[in-house]
Amino acid sequence: MAKALITYASMSGNTEDIAVIIRDALQEYELDIDCIEIEDVDVTALTSYDYVLIGTYTWGDGDLPYEAEDFFEAVKQLQLNGLKTACFGSGDYSYPKFCEAVNLFSSMLQEAGAAVYQETLKIELAPETDEDAESCRAFAKGFLAWADYMNKEKSHVS
């Protein structure tokens, strides 16, 4: 069974709520899913997953949360060899750099050699509305469809 990691940094629970909706959406597929806080991830085991989804809120002036920094720096050192990844998070439009930490993760993963899903999911505060929840589910399903397509392309070429 394919393995998925959903990991998140969440101070007041908004990003965690998004992660849970994503997890529930992915549970409809045959996947072995770990959904854990970013500080509890064993970075050396990251490449044992088929899919990695990273969630973060944004802090300071478009900064990473403090508790995501060690994970970020450790992953940056890895060779991710096309690992299928996606990034999501919660932010607040009253700050000039809305959900910038999501973009920081996305760029870093790209540089570390991951295959990064082009779409990011950025939710204002908590995913409270039906529309927010639907965006989370669509993101999860879109990511898997994309990853599946990438896998087929790869096996077709080789």
Ligand X SMILES: Cc1cc2nc3c(=O)[nH]c(=O)nc-3n(C[C@H](O)[C@H](O)[C@H](O)COP(=O)(O)O)c2cc1C
Q: Which is nearer to ligand X, 44 or 96 (CB)?
A: 96
Does 57 participate in binding ligand X (rule CB under 6 A)?
A: yes
* Positions 93 through 112 that interact with ligand X (CB under 6 A): 95, 97-100
Judged by CB under 6 A, the residue of 7, 85, 90, 106 near ligand X is 90
Please, which residues bridge with residue 7 across strands? 36, 54
Judged by CB under 6 A, the residue of 32, 39, 69, 92 near ligand X is 92
* Positions 112 through 131 that interact with ligand X (CB under 6 A): 125
For the CA atoms of 106, 41, 76, 26, the dihedral, rounded to the nearest 10 degrees, stands at: -30
Q: Which DSSP letter does residue 152 get?
A: H
Segment contacting ligand X (CB under 6 A): 24-32, 88-96, 112-120, 131-139? 88-96
Q: Which DSSP letter does residue 138 get?
A: H
Please, which residues bridge with residue 8 across strands? 37, 55
Does 62 participate in binding ligand X (rule CB under 6 A)?
A: yes
Task: Could you list the beta-strand ranges (E) of the chain.
Answer: 2-9, 31-37, 51-57, 84-91, 115-116, 121-124
Does 7 participate in binding ligand X (rule CB under 6 A)?
A: no
d(CA 119, CA 140): 10
Q: Which is nearer to ligand X, 99 or 112 (CB)?
A: 99
Binding-site ranges for ligand X (CB under 6 A): 10-15, 57-62, 90-92, 95, 97-100, 125
